[in-house]
Each structure stands twice: as C-alpha cells, then as structure tokens.
Amino acid sequence: MDQSTPRKPAGKRPLPAGKTPARPLTKKQRRNQAAARSVSLESRRPWQSPTIVTFSSVAIVAVVLIVIVVINAAGGGNAAVNKPVPQAILTAVENPSPSVVTTVGTGGYSGEMVRLPASAKLVSNGKPMVVFVGAEYCPYCAAERWSMVMWLSRFGTFKNLSEILSSSTDVDPNTNSFSFYKSSYSSPYITFSPNEIEDRNQQPLQSMSAQVTKIFTTYDTPPYATASGGFPFLDIGGVFNLYTTSYDPAILQNLSWSQIAAKLSNASDPVTKAIVGNANILTAATCIATGNQPSSVCSSNPIPVIEQALAQIKPKG
C-alpha cells in the first residue's frame, strides 16, 4: 500500500474516438459549459415561452416528450433506471457471508489509499465524516459504489438507495450500480456526505456545500489523487483519501445487478474479490478513523491485519 510512486488509475484505458472521459476536466471548462447552458436558455425564442399556449406549441411539446421517452427507453436518461434496489440485492451486498469476507481479505488489491496530514482531520457532529463526490454517469464511480455500500453498511444503515446505470457513451458503458442521490444514511460512528453532482447525462444534479467544496478542491488533487477534480473522490474522516478508483469497472461489464449480487457468495470469483476486498480495505481505514469503533466490526477478521498495513502508510503533504 506504499504510495511513494504515483500509479496509473485502475481502468484508465485510452478513450474511443468521440467518447467523453468519465473524470471531469478543468474548472474553466465547467464554467464554460454552465455559461453555454445559460446562453441557451436566455436565447429562447418567444414561441417557446410556457405562457404562449397555441395549438402549434402544444404539438411541439408533444413531439419533444415523445423524443424524451424514446431516449429514456434507450438508456439515455435516469428515468429508465432510477428505481429502488430490490431487497434481495441489498441483502447480498450489505450482509455478505462472514466466511466470504474473511476468505477474500483484500482480494489481492492494494487499496489505493493515501494518508492525509493531521491537519486534514474531518469531524461532523462529533464523528469522523466520510465525503464522497461522484457522478451517476461515471463508470469508475459505479464500480466504487458496490464496495462503498458494503463497507458503509457495516457502520450504519442506508435508506432509499436506487439502481443506476453509468453513461451509455463512456468507457465501460452501462455499468450497473447504485446512486446515493436522494438516499439517506445514519450511523452512531460516522457521518456520510454523498454528493452525486451530475446525472447520467452529465447534467447538474446536486450542489456541494461550501465545506465539501473546500475538501474536494484541496484533496482531490496530486499528491492526494491522480489528477485534480476527478471522480470518484472519497475522504475518510480526513485520515485517508482514495488515490484512484479501487478496481477496474470492466470487471462488471455485461453483468446485471442480480448477477453481480449473486457472485458475492463465491469468495474465489474475481467480482467478489474486487468488491469485498476493497470494502474490507475501506472498513479498516474507517476503523483507524473511528478509533476501532465498533469493535464488532473492527476486531473481526480480516480487518485488524489490513488495518496494520494501512497504519504503515506515511502522511502526504
């Protein structure tokens, strides 16, 4: 888990021609995109005004609605995939077999964790604060969320998680995952701030608070991450930062939610090693942040061994 040598992000393969990268670009480019959307709205023709109701305007609206329905049916919008997660899938992800968890260990993964300086300590309501910044379109976020739901469920309880597909036009298209948008999380040990800032179509979805924005801009940049402003961003109590995506989302390609969940009972399956192994690493990092609370989680195998390895990482900065 030594971070002395920067590593290439897992799954960062060259993009096909015309594809949009899963990780966002510069702040300037984001401002330009926002400005373009603003100009588009301001230059709207008079006949587009909702106050002018004519036969022709109604007909045009009907055509637009038909087009939207067709796009959503093809997987281009959230409406086709944002739905509650079936209980059977939640149970498989939130409560994997203890024997599988122990057998998998780290799954052969390094964890991609960076130790933050002592000044970065992050506390909310007297508890270590976990911050996630991602986007529904991002396939790397899609992969990370499988491990995140398993990991965080050991410390608390989710409500209203929904299923989501990553973008159909990005690398590793249509990766099945979860969305934290409109979900809630409660825990006596940690607080969780999930921020899905863009939807599946790369449109604005959630706004980060001033506190989260400061954390994101400060620590989602080298040497704490592979690049500035990239997704997914994960800060565990200001103690550890996710250097890059834990595993390659390509491992989940062409697998449905149910198929991925079913694999989690087989400790030798590559999908299980990726999801459970990285959930175990994130759990050990959280135990360091919470002072090994709860003991029922932090003292269970294989967490203590992984925790010892993480403790050897020297702080950056």
Residue-wise DSSP of 205-235: -----HHHHHHHHHHSSTTSSSSTT-S-EEE
Confirm whether 184 is domain-assigned.
Answer: yes
Does residue 217 form part of some domain? yes
Specify the higher pLDDT residue, 182 or 79.
Answer: 182
- Rounded to whole angstroms, what are the CA distances from 67 to 5, 71, 73, 78, 243? 49, 6, 10, 15, 40
- Does one domain contain both 58 and 94? no
Q: What is the pLDDT of residue 81?
A: 61
- Residue 177 within a domain: yes
pLDDT digits (tens, 9 = 90+) for 34-69: 444 443 333 333 322 333 333 344 344 344 344 333
Q: Is the residue at 39 inside a domain?
A: no
Flag whether 15 is in a domain: no
The CA distance from 77 to 71, in Å, is: 7
**Residue 317 confidence (pLDDT):** 74
Do 64 and 98 lie in a common domain?
A: no
Tell me the two tokens of residue 111.
Answer: 């964890």
Count CA atoms closer than 13 A to 201's CA, side-chain side.
13
Residue 24 pLDDT exceeds 90? no
On whether both 197 and 64 belong to a single domain, the answer is no
Write the DSSP assignment of 27-96 as a string of letters: HHHHHHHHHHHHHHHHT--GGG-TT---HHHHHHHHHHHHHHHHHHHTT-SGGGT-EEPPHHHHHHHHS-
Same-domain check for residues 68 and 125:
no
- In this predicted structure, the answer to whether residue 11 has a pLDDT above a threshold of 90 is no
Domain count, the chain: 2
Q: By three-state DSSP, how is residue 170 classified? A: coil
Instruction: Look at residue 269 and tell me if it is in a domain.
Output: yes
Nearest alpha-carbon partner for 279 in 125, 155, 120, 192: 155
Is there a single domain that holds both residue 210 and residue 280? Answer: yes
Residues 74 and 167 in one domain: no
Read off the pLDDT of residues 206-257 as tens digits, 9 standing for 90 and up.
999 999 999 999 999 999 999 999 999 999 999 999 999 999 999 999 999 9
Residues 97 and 72 in one domain: no
pLDDT, the chain, mean: 82
Best CA proximity match to 273, nearest among 300, 302, 298, 296: 302
- pLDDT for the residue 111: 87
140 falls within a domain: yes
Residue 137 contacts residue 199 (beta carbons within 8 Å) = yes
69 plus 177 within the same structural domain: no
Residue 23 pLDDT more than 60?
no
Q: Looking at the structure, tell me whether residues 178 and 207 fall in a common domain.
A: yes
Express the helix, strand and coil content of the chain in percent, nearest 5 each. Answer: 40, 15, 45
pLDDT of 9 reads 40
- Residues 91 and 73 occupy one common structural domain: no
**What's the pLDDT tens digit per position in 67-86?**
333 344 333 344 446 789 99
290 and 161 assigned to the same domain: yes
Using alpha carbons only, give the angle 212, 215, 216 rounded to the nearest 5 degrees.
85
pLDDT score, position 242: 96
Structural domain boundaries enclosing 61 = 51-80
Q: Does pLDDT of 131 surpass 50?
A: yes
Q: Which of 80, 96, 128 is the C-terminal boundary of a domain?
A: 80
Which pTM was predicted? 0.77
Question: Does an H or E element contain 184, and which?
Answer: strand 184-186
Do 68 and 175 reside in the same domain of the chain? no
